[in-house]
Amino acid sequence: MRRLPSWILVVGLIASACGDDGTTATSSPFPDGAFAFSASSSPGVGEERLLVAVSDVSGARLAAPDISVTIAVWPEGHEELMQVEDGAFTWALQDVSGLYRANFTFGQPGTWIVEVTPAGAGPLEAFPVSVTADPPTPAIGEPAPRSVTPTAEQFLLAEITTDPNPDPRFYELSVADAVTSGRPSVIVFATPKFCQTAVCGPTLDIVKGLAGDHPGVNFVHVEVYTNLDDAQNLELVPAVLEWGLPTEPWVFVVDAAGVVIGRFEGVVTAEEIGAALAN
């Protein structure tokens, strides 16, 4: 059975502790030993959305809507090129777990350093991320792959989706039909039943919630696997390979000319997708 490689899912609890800078006691929202790490699999050169998680030493995840952080990035060895942005909290599983996100411009490939600083406290230990010159997934400004994907005209919905409550509109067009239709499209790759990150279903639900407000936009769900009735023999659908997806879920926004204008790995909000559609 071929499976997508897993990425680190943010699940867990909120914790707090106090620190001391040697002169004035400073309250910290994170306990001693808390550390941050990337939840983005393959950032590339250019403007990218970076997802960051925070964990304690036991593995409990600590990001929370009432804990504000800033995120800084810079090329290794060039701290003078530091970029700093507020980290926007985003639920991974509503009211259960979350992470932080921010957009940065990665000007060169190679190792970049990431540092997360909670409000009113010192920074967590910085960590590296590898920025690639040519990420495997379609980049902003690139043509969307014209993948031939199954539709409800060809198959029963149960054969092409594991969504327990599928929206038929998401299976009317193939990806190829959608991105060559002359209309904007939202393409979501997700497998609610077999998801390794546990956020495929919630992400698909967010996209489904947008469809009614955007009647001029194509919405397409691509199930990640075939052989859905045989969990021991799942196979990746060709479109996953054609789009170079290393993880799941992914959401892409494609303009009327068939060009990618938004790409979101893992967790995404309705506001982010709406903003991409408004461009």
Q: Strand 83-93 to strand 69-75: parallel, antiparallel, or no bridges (unpaired)?
A: antiparallel
Nearest residue to 39 via CA among 24, 51, 48: 51
Lowest-confidence pick of 14-28, 97-111, 181-195: 14-28
Residue 209: band (very low, low, confident or very high) from pLDDT cuts 50, 70, 90: very high
pTM of the prediction? 0.87
User: Which residue's structure tokens are 């983005």?
Assistant: 40
- Give 184-196 pLDDT, tens digit per residue: 999 999 999 999 8
User: Which residue's structure tokens are 């955007």?
Assistant: 214
Percentage of residues of the chain with pLDDT beyond 70: 90
Domains (range + CATH), the chain = 17-131 (2.60.40.10), 157-278 (3.40.30.10)
d(CA 70, CA 105): 16
Exposed / middle / buried, residue 111 (Cβ in 10 Å: 0-12, 13-18, 19+) = exposed
Residue 135 has, within 13 A of its CA and on its CB side, a CA count of 24
Q: Strand 218-223 to strand 185-190: parallel, antiparallel, or no bridges (unpaired)?
A: parallel
Is 250 within 8 Å of 264 (Cβ atoms)? yes
Element (H, E) at 236: strand 235-236
Is 149 within 8 Å of 252 (Cβ atoms)? no
18 pLDDT above the threshold of 90: no
45 pLDDT above the threshold of 50: yes
- Give 153-177 pLDDT, tens digit per residue: 999 999 999 999 999 999 999 999 9
Enumerate residues 6+ apart whose C-beta is below 8 A from 148.
Answer: 174, 175, 176, 238, 239
Q: Strand 17-20 to strand 25-28: parallel, antiparallel, or no bridges (unpaired)?
A: antiparallel
| 246-264 average pLDDT score | 96
